[in-house]
Chains A and B, each alone.
Chain A
Amino acid sequence: MKKTLLILTRNPLSLIGLILVAIVVFSAIFADFITPFPEHVGAVVDFVNFNKPPQWPYIFGTDLVGRDLFTRVVYAYRISLVLGIVVLAIAVPIGVTVGLAAGYLGGWAEYVLMRITDVFLSIPPLVLAMSVMGLLEPTLTNGMIAVTVMWWPWYTRLVYNIARSEKEEGYVLAAEVIGASKTHIMFREILPNCVPSIITKMTLDFGFVILIASSLSFLGLGVQPPTPDLGSMVAEGAKYLPDSWWLTVFPGLAILIAVFGFNLIGDALREILGIDQ
């Protein structure tokens, strides 16, 4: 772990990624202390200072009801990160378990599980998430559910492929011989060998989860106002381009930074751990 971090700081690209992610995580955690107007997260109206371009103390400018944009972007990071963590924390265990079962058990379990997975994979992810959101009320929780539903099959397919090849390894046979149970072989023998690939994919995906969640709220299907969300801020501001450019550019850059940072780290991890996709 320490070694991996050390290698990460040596490569300029991954160092940039590390710095960007550090900025995002730091601002999300310490949002209460670094933002000038924490109360602007909610439904606050200040018609004296509305729609102002970037200036002190509003470094990102203010939105159409006079709320500080910087404050709202930083709090939106917090929500995005929580969303990313929750989505991956649910999607990855489900996807990995299904993939392990399909890959190791084989037979009809493999057939049924992988065909179900294929059905999910065959629908374009955003369309699937949109249809789930269309069925449910547009709230943060439902946004997480929608993204989770579209996310787990990718892990199933990843782990399935690894499990299929690991299952032929001698140590699986050796474990069968000494009488290890199927769950033991799946979770204690094969799973640890999938971990590098899973971690790499999770890092890469973290940015994409944020992006997809933002896309959903951009389309009006995600987090609802007054809760700050990068996607809905971009959507809102897009109506006033190019005059009130700050309304779109800063939330957009914020999405870019997060996605870019996680992608750089993920790519570097993939190289360090020697995983080809």
Chain B
Amino acid sequence: MTAPTLKIENLKLGFKNWAGVSNVLHGISLHIKKGERVALVGESGSGKSVTARIVLGMLQQLKTARISGSVEFEGINLETLKPASRHALRGTRMSMIFQDPTSSLNPVYTIFALFKEVLARAEPGITSERARQRAIEALADVAINEPERVLDSYSFQLSGGMNQRVMIAMALANNPALLLADEPGTALDVTVQAQTLKLMSELVEKHQTSVLFISHNLGVVREFADRVYVIYKGNIVEQGATAELFANPQHPYTRALLSAVPRITGGGIPDLDDDPGQFLAPLVAHPSYSEKERLA
């Protein structure tokens, strides 16, 4: 059996400050198999985004960060890699999509210039003609009708939805094994968000890309993910298959999270059982969805 695309084991993270160490992650474990779409769901500050940054190796260089546990990418422990080879993975084997697509594209370069830079990560010295051709193909994949016009535009000349699709096309241009999506499209309106998610969903299936989907939007997660991890205050509190977890939430925090979604039919924001004490209950894994069983 091949190694999972991403395997995080007992990952702990703390930030050192003048008052000592404040712990952010208290030993989380998760994994993503090839082609799997996994969601990491939690409230703001629960440790979702830092997890993604650790996978990319962006926190390791921070002097104040204290990290322990292991992160394996395609069976290789990232800690044992030399900085250079680790660096080479970024943007080629792993890539990332962000919340706000428009601010993620440098306004002083055309989309084509940015595309070429991304393609040159995997293929140094790529010619402009070839980069253009590949960029057009990638844009066609994300249902952009006039790729030529888009390539010669600047990000501020395109709509948010267009930029999001450009971002997705760029992120997948080098055929990465792992895509980290950090609340993609939160800055977009709901209909555009739905369109781009659908596109992304089709594309990762086509490319056989594994996705770590980080979100606080339960509706989006339900549509997109195969499996879900719920994270609360730096601990994974519940994990399982999407449908089952939504139908039958076991952990008090997951239940509270699900009932916190305002209903479109009225009734306002529901009253929450505000007892954070019970949210700290230990991890609940749905039957046959514990890390041990899944990785066996």
Contacts and interface: CB of A to CB of B under 8 A. Distances in A.
A171 B106 contact: yes
Contacts of B89: 179
B79 to A, nearest CB: 18
B118 interface: yes
A82 to B, nearest CB: 31
Contact of A173 (B90, B92, B98, B117): B98
A258 to B, nearest CB: 32
Interface in A147-180: 169-171, 173-179
A192 B121 contact: no
Interface residues of B, number: 26
Contact of A178 (B91, B99, B101): B91
Contact of B98 (A107, A170, A192, A193): A170
Contact of A193 (B58, B90, B108, B118): B108
Contacts of B103: 169-171
Q: A-B pairs with the 4 shortest C-beta distances?
A: A178-B91, A170-B104, A170-B103, A179-B90
B95 interface: yes
Interface size on A, as a range, is: 10 to 19
A205 interface: no
B138 to A, nearest CB: 15
Given A177-B95, A178-B121, A171 B58 contact: no
25 contacts: A107-B63, A170-B98, A170-B99, A170-B102, A170-B103, A170-B105, A171-B103, A171-B105, A171-B106, A171-B107, A174-B96, A176-B58, A177-B95, A177-B96, A178-B90, A178-B95, A178-B118, A178-B121, A179-B87, A179-B88, A179-B90, A179-B121, A193-B106, A193-B107, A195-B108
Given A174-B104, A178-B90, A179-B89, 9 more contacts: A170-B99, A170-B102, A170-B104, A171-B105, A173-B104, A176-B58, A177-B95, A179-B92, A192-B109
A55 to B, nearest CB: 56
Nearest to B86: A179
A177 B106 contact: no
A236 interface: no
A110 interface: no
A267 interface: no
Contacts of A107: 63
B220 to A, nearest CB: 20
B54 to A, nearest CB: 13
Contacts of B92: 179
A193 B101 CA distance: 18
Interface in B217-231: none
A169 B104 CA distance: 7
A173 B91 CA distance: 12
Interface in A175-226: 175-179, 189, 192-193, 195
Contacts of B88: 179
B91 A179 contact: yes
B185 to A, nearest CB: 13
A244 B75 CA distance: 89
Interface string B205-243: 000000000000000000000000000000000000000
B19 to A, nearest CB: 20
Contacts of B108: 192-193, 195
